[in-house]
Structure formats: structure tokens, C-alpha cells
Amino acid sequence: MPTATIMRPSVVFGPEDTFFNRFAQMATTLPVMPLISGKTKFQPIFVGDVADAIVAAIETREAQGRIYELGGPRTYTFKQLLQFITTEISRPRTLVPLPTVIAHPMGLLASVAFKLLPWDPPITGDQVTMLRRDNVVGIDANAHTIQDLGVTSLESIEAIVPAYLWRFRPYGQFQTKQNPA
């Protein structure tokens, strides 16, 4: 009988995440934002909630041998997440649809080119592949959820992400957030 507990989180967010920070950084340098598979759904989960789920799984004997899909309190499309990011950092950008047949080869080329550089590529072929598939709880009918581990008070992106994306605003942390007209 297997005893490993498998955790499958959606996009994990927190101060040093590579999702919200990456796209916020892109919005500071690009005049438009590439929208790859804008209808793909995500259920971002806070890193602290993932940690709580892991602790609960360690402390719960019944969790052994089970799979848990971990998702936050809300589901968003990729387009909604990009709009949230650009609004939060006061950098409105036009979202330009980029078909995956173009984005995937670009991601593969970037992966190869950036191996010679000290920076991460803006996007990789694997990331483009991931952007084509929904990443939400409930896809695997045999999996359990974070709530099954007793973790029920989940943080939202609206409550956490603004606390660390301020650094991408044009005038920093104390800039008054502008409401679009």
C-alpha cells in the first residue's frame, strides 16, 4: 500500500513567486502583454495555505497514499490574472492574443538562448504548454482537496498580492493606486 501523500497545487503565490512577479516585471518593460490561451483557468493558492496543507497531511494518518489538489478560494482566467496584475501595478497594458503555435516555438528558442545568459527566459516552451491546460481543483475525480485536510480559511490574491507587487508601480509603494477612467 502506498504511503506517499501527493500535493498538486495550482499556481502558488507569495512574495517571491515566479508567476505574479514575472508578469508584473514584463508589464514594466513591454508596451503590450502577450496573452497566451487567455481562457485557461487557474485557481491560485497562497504559499502559506500550501504549507498548512502539508502540515495537516503529515499530522493526518488518513492522508497517506492520497492525492490532494490544492487551489485557492477563486478561479480566474489567465486574461483576468493579467488584468489584475496590470491594474494592481498601475500599468495598463493592451493584452495581445498570441497563438500557442507561435508562442511555443518562441518559448523553446528563449529557453535555448537564455542558457548562455545569467537570467531566466521570459517564458519557456514548457510554460506555454502549461498555459494551455486548466489548472484548477476538480480535474481528477479521485483527488481530495485542501478542505479535506481541514484547511478552510484560504487567502485570496486580492488580500496578499498587492503587498508585494507595489515594487512594480511607476512610483513605488506609496503611490496612490489610480482607478481607470
CATH code, 155: 3.40.50.720
Q: What share of the chain is helix, strand, coil (3-state, %, to 5)?
A: 40, 15, 45
Residue 123 within any structural domain of the chain: no
Q: Does any domain span residue 54? A: yes
pTM of the entire predicted model:
0.86
Any domain includes 87: yes
What whole-number distance in Å separates Cα of residue 60 and Cα of residue 64? 8
* 105 falls within a domain: no
Q: Could you give the number of structural domains in the chain? A: 1
**Does residue 56 form part of some domain?**
yes
Residue 160: inside a domain: yes
Q: Domain span at residue 146?
A: 6-99+134-168
CA dihedral sign of residues 120, 30, 89, 167 = positive
pLDDT tens-digit series, residues 88-109: 999 999 999 988 787 777 778 7
The cell numbers describing 54, all together, are 502539508
Residues 135-154: pLDDT tens digits?
A: 999 888 889 999 999 999 99
